[in-house]
Structure 1
């Protein structure tokens, strides 16, 4: 019996005392909610996929997100009423690369540039649909820091350009945290503000 308890103790100790290092080799899937800077507008919710691959001090990264929401409004004309529904489908993707500057064993600084698209599809009471696509360009500087082997904090500042009929330049910042169960498996929480909208994300990550 004492050998069983000894084995359990060794397993727990090795689980909680692993040596973590920051890297950019990972894939993650998560939940994403967006709040637009328009009073009474939709707050789409959906999933987010992110992948990153490191090559020495360089890395490439890509992401894809899909979210849905709807708006309903009922109009009454005497004894008759009718409800109009607009279904929104939001999708966005980005792809780019960056350079990693290690500050020390627990802190890195990286710089990245990404191109992408943001697409909105609207469907009206099953009577028709419309879509709008916006090209995006995003560049940022990010700092990641390990407070311990199991807990990472990170922050990002950058610039985002939305290129459509009314092109806009937005200042972007993001803050987040990552909790590592092991070197490979972790969960994260993030908040991003891009002036026109903000994102709240929860994700599960596998690092390799």
Structure 2
């Protein structure tokens, strides 16, 4: 056997022993991201996302926790028939999301797969706010009222049910992932939303990789930069 054949066989054996970046199971991931709401552009909580994934019996379970916060001042002016109201509010926002997914991957070839998964998320949003309201009457009289809600606020919780499918493709150390799905959100009212997602990843070593992930569910979207350790 010549040296070229020996080198080719050795290289093939080495590559076959490496964990495929497309096989996105059995990992721990830490990320930093932000949450944006479709109807409130001023508030974008930011924070950390922790994810754990483990495969067993041909299926996998994935759990994640996202803890994010924001502190922002919002100013608004409302014109009335007899007065104008200028309000400046300081919002202290805490967002917590816990997710549990179950899924299965179907290999298409050595470089690509289809990932089908579904699950449940619990989202809790806590908002405390304080502010200054300046009311100007058209007769020239100005009334200033300081409104503080430091120990009060609003708490909202919602349940999210997911069913999604993603196409995963690997080229050398680069990984590309796109997907679509469905999400049902239940709080005071229920709504069904289309989901689409995209992710680009790069493998630095056999076990360490990083990715940028984006997910949009119509009424909100998430963007995160993640560091992954595969085992």
Task: Report how far residue 61 of structure 1 moved.
Answer: 0.6
The offset of 1:197, in angstroms, is 1.4
Equivalent residue for 2:60? 59
- 1:24-43 equivalences under 5 Å are 24-43=25-44
CA contact (8 A) 1:65 1:91 kept: yes
Find the counterpart in structure 1 of residue 166 from structure 2. 142
After the TM superposition, which segments of 4 or more aligned residues of structure 1 sit over 6 Å from their partners? none
TM-score by length of 1: 0.83
1:1-208 equivalence runs, <5 A: 19-21=18-20, 22-23=22-23, 24-73=25-74, 84-125=89-130, 126-148=150-172, 150-208=173-231
Question: Partners in 1 of 2:204 and 2:221 — Cα distance?
Answer: 28
Preserved contact between residue 178 and residue 187 of structure 1 (Cα < 8 Å) = yes
Question: 1:56: Cα distance to partner?
Answer: 4.4
- 1:74, CA displacement in angstroms? 6.3
TM-score, L = length of structure 2: 0.75
Is there any run of 5+ residues in structure 1 with no aligned partner, and where?
Answer: 1-13, 76-80
What RMSD, in angstroms, separates the aligned Cα atoms of the two structures?
2.3
1:57 deviates by 2.3
The total of aligned residue pairs comes to 188
In 2, the alpha carbon distance for the partners of 1:73 and 1:102 equals 49
